[in-house]
Structure 1
């Protein structure tokens, strides 16, 4: 991404690990020496309610700590896509899980990837957030791959490190910069 700062919104249902994904992305950017702001919101339900993590990454000082219009929008649930698709601009990279049907359209450069299915094939649906981070980073180059791996492996419990390392790689294989629409 050439924009600075880059505004990222990660959205889905509670329990999909998007708050953790936002923290990991922010930590990876810090490891790269960038300035970062990370915020999060979620519904009153701990599981299945809506959740959103926002991360602003910049090489310079961040003047406003809230995402206004995302440069990147990730949606892992239909509800999140319906809620946030209208809040993007025509240049926003919108990455949707392939479980979100074709009825969801809108502005932005839309990429659909089977992130949840890839997580299941990798070893567990709970790793969909990590697959998504690997794919998103491969598409955008937001942070260095090494910093992303370090941040993921530092954040997850030891018993899940092998699964999450495999999930990052699966996400990276799932996406390539050429898949991001021009």
Structure 2
């Protein structure tokens, strides 16, 4: 049976986490040639309501396109954490935005806390790239695709004028998680 890895990005609508999931799926499938599927769910509110994006990556065919036992979950808000940080497998990973998720749920998983939104706002100067910071962080945390593959997928999606900004965001997210895990 092929190895199946399930990742869930969750936060508020408008934070770009569905796009982050799509980019991760592209890094796995287009750049690395693995099987990948991405799905999304969000409330009736276009902005502000809880939303999630799930990515399943496998070396072989994917028989079911929804996450069932999550290997790694990102929660950018407390509401998203309360709603979507369930179903993480024993020994799994939970990445939290340390400024927006004060209450850590109980569970048999490793918790890593990183200032994702603050990094985007203060170190890059643009909150809009928080999803790319989060993507870099999740790739560093999981190792599900190579760092270079994730960056290649990010850069293939952004206009030329924003490539440097997004590369900086991606690398900062990656570095923040590596430092938090050290």
More off after superposition, 59-68 vs 98-107: 98-107
Shift of the 43–111 alpha-carbon distance from structure 1 to 2, 3 Å rule, reads: same
Q: Shift in Å at residue 51 of structure 1?
A: 1.1
Q: Shift in Å at residue 62 of structure 1?
A: 1.1
Q: Structure 2: which 5+ residue stretches go unaligned?
A: none
Q: Distance in 2 between matches of 1:155 and 1:10?
A: 18
Shift of the 29–39 alpha-carbon distance from structure 1 to 2, 3 Å rule, reads: same
Q: Distance in 2 between matches of 1:132 and 1:75?
A: 10
Q: Shift in Å at residue 158 of structure 1?
A: 2.9
Q: Distance in 2 between matches of 1:146 and 1:37?
A: 20
Aligned length: 178
Runs of 4+ in 1 over 4 A off after TM superposition: none
Aligned to 1:110: 111
Q: Distance in 2 between matches of 1:177 and 1:71?
A: 21
The structure with more strand, counted as a fraction of residues: 2
Aligned to 2:81: 81
Shift of the 111–167 alpha-carbon distance from structure 1 to 2, 3 Å rule, reads: same
Q: Distance in 1 between matches of 2:160 and 2:44?
A: 29
Aligned to 1:175: 177
Q: Shift in Å at residue 157 of structure 1?
A: 2.8
Aligned to 2:147: 145
Shift of the 90–102 alpha-carbon distance from structure 1 to 2, 3 Å rule, reads: farther
Q: Shift in Å at residue 104 of structure 1?
A: 2.3
Contact 2:8 2:70 (8 Å CA) reproduced: yes
Q: Distance in 1 between matches of 2:87 and 2:60?
A: 25
Q: Shift in Å at residue 175 of structure 1?
A: 1.4
TM-score, structure 1 normalization: 0.91
Q: Distance in 2 between matches of 1:165 and 1:178?
A: 20
Q: Distance in 1 between matches of 2:55 and 2:85?
A: 17
Q: Distance in 1 between matches of 2:171 and 2:90?
A: 29
> Does structure 1 residue 38 correspond to structure 2 residue 70?
no
Tell me how large the CA RMSD over aligned residues is: 1.7
Contact 1:123 1:163 (8 Å CA) reproduced: no
TM-score, structure 2 normalization: 0.91
Q: Shift in Å at residue 42 of structure 1?
A: 1.1
Q: Structure 1: which 5+ residue stretches go unaligned?
A: none
Q: Distance in 1 between matches of 2:19 and 2:101?
A: 25
Aligned to 1:71: 71
Contact 1:90 1:109 (8 Å CA) reproduced: no
